[in-house]
Copies of this chain bind each other. A is one copy, B any other.
């Protein structure tokens, strides 16, 4: 059986890829790049505090540009401040294939989110340059700016940025407008998208999973079937604040009791259906917020996600239905204000099978899974077919100094990125 399997495997491999594709990236060099990058904004806990537009982000961008030039990429900064490294293709009629990710972090984040895909993409380009391989398609390695603050760079590329959004203050204390100027973009020229549908042949992003499925199941590579859509709300519950000692239990309009019933209802709504939809209440504040006062107001949040927009709508409907009953039971009033929404982005069927085949060629195990977290790829899906490759995150921990992916998993991911790129280039 073993011989037959090997033979079949070889057949598939040689059928799909020319000889030059047996190349591999330099895993050691890739992991050194990641380690060097981690010096910018390094925290005492071993994490990374490198929010977009901060001094550390600016220095990390300089470092990344140097690496891209070493990889023989022709580097420029686009109007949004994204870093783009170009490598010419052999067929002038073909549109570029784009690969990349981001290097900015959440406040007090980790060393892998975005960074693995960024350094991985540069390593892929460097490997191509080293081996003297020219693809048919032009290649663009992109480092999107400010992914963690709301996929700013990729939104500029695919949708444009409304002027009012430019005035939002980011975690760097700079507004987005000031930040874009600081990284060499031109915030006044972003109203219209920088790229149009059809400008790109495709986009491929390597990323850590930010969840625990690959790690738990000891799978090497996640083939992303899509990035979930999300619906975010600010939920304000109004009751009546009163003295905790003197207000009888049956005369209260306790906004926190209503909030408690709401938190349970949100959980119940997501769990009452089959599927992988999730619903979370992550924020809560009670007013006035004193031990001896029955809360008169609670401000809380809602986050609902799924690959299917209909599922999101169903969960929201169930929650709203429960809320009517809670209002009646507690004498409170709920107000829902949408704060963010994104539609699900499905990955391309051809890209998924190219990723899966490339991983299996390397003897790696694969698993098809949705991305519960948002990524730049979600924005780029408006422009071209997309694909995403996940590598395991230890214990599924992300956005934390404890975020960790093993060097061998990172090397595997970059090799799958390289080989998927070669496969798609055919």
**What residues make up the interface of A, taking CB atoms closer than 8 Å to B?**
209-212, 228, 230, 232, 241-251, 254, 256-257, 259-264, 267, 270-271, 276, 278-286, 289-295, 301-303, 305, 339, 371-374, 396-400
Contact = CB atoms under 8 A, between A and B. Distances in A.
B289 A286 contact: no
Nearest to A270: B249
Given A256-B282, A257-B264, A282-B291, 15 more contacts: A211-B243, A212-B246, A212-B247, A230-B245, A243-B396, A245-B303, A245-B372, A248-B278, A249-B270, A257-B267, A280-B291, A282-B293, A283-B289, A284-B284, A291-B303
24 contacts: A232-B292, A242-B397, A243-B396, A244-B278, A244-B280, A244-B303, A245-B303, A245-B305, A245-B374, A246-B396, A247-B372, A249-B270, A249-B271, A254-B267, A256-B281, A257-B263, A259-B260, A280-B293, A280-B294, A282-B286, A282-B292, A282-B294, A284-B286, A291-B339
Given A211-B243, A257-B263, A261-B264, A282 B278 contact: no
A268 to B, nearest CB: 10
Given A283-B286, A289-B282, A339-B291, A247 B396 contact: yes
A250 B270 CA distance: 10
Contacts of A295: 282
Contacts of A259: 260, 263
A267 to B, nearest CB: 5
A323 to B, nearest CB: 14
Dominant secondary structure at the A interface: mixed
A258 B424 CA distance: 48
In this complex, which of A228, A279, A291 has the most chain B Cβ atoms within 10 angstroms of its Cβ? Answer: A291
A148 to B, nearest CB: 11
Contacts of A286: 282-284
Nearest to A234: B291
Contact of A399 (B230, B243, B397): B243
Contacts of A267: 249, 254, 257
A282 B276 contact: no
A107 to B, nearest CB: 10
A397 B400 CA distance: 45
A228 B211 contact: no
A399 B293 contact: yes
Given A244-B303, A246-B210, A232 B291 contact: yes
Given A267-B257, A282-B256, A212 B245 contact: no
Nearest to A288: B282
A247 to B, nearest CB: 7
A328 to B, nearest CB: 16
Contacts of A305: 244-245
B301 A278 contact: no
B256 A263 contact: yes
Closest 8 A/B residue pairs (Cβ)? A211-B246, A245-B372, A246-B372, A260-B263, A244-B280, A260-B260, A291-B301, A245-B373
Contacts of A398: 243, 246
Contact of A278 (B241, B249, B374): B249
A161 to B, nearest CB: 21
A51 to B, nearest CB: 14
Contact of A373 (B230, B246, B251, B396): B246
In this complex, which of A228, A279, A301 has the most chain B Cβ atoms within 10 angstroms of its Cβ? Answer: A301
A247 B278 contact: yes
A283 B290 contact: yes
Nearest to A265: B260
A147 B323 CA distance: 40
A282 B290 contact: yes
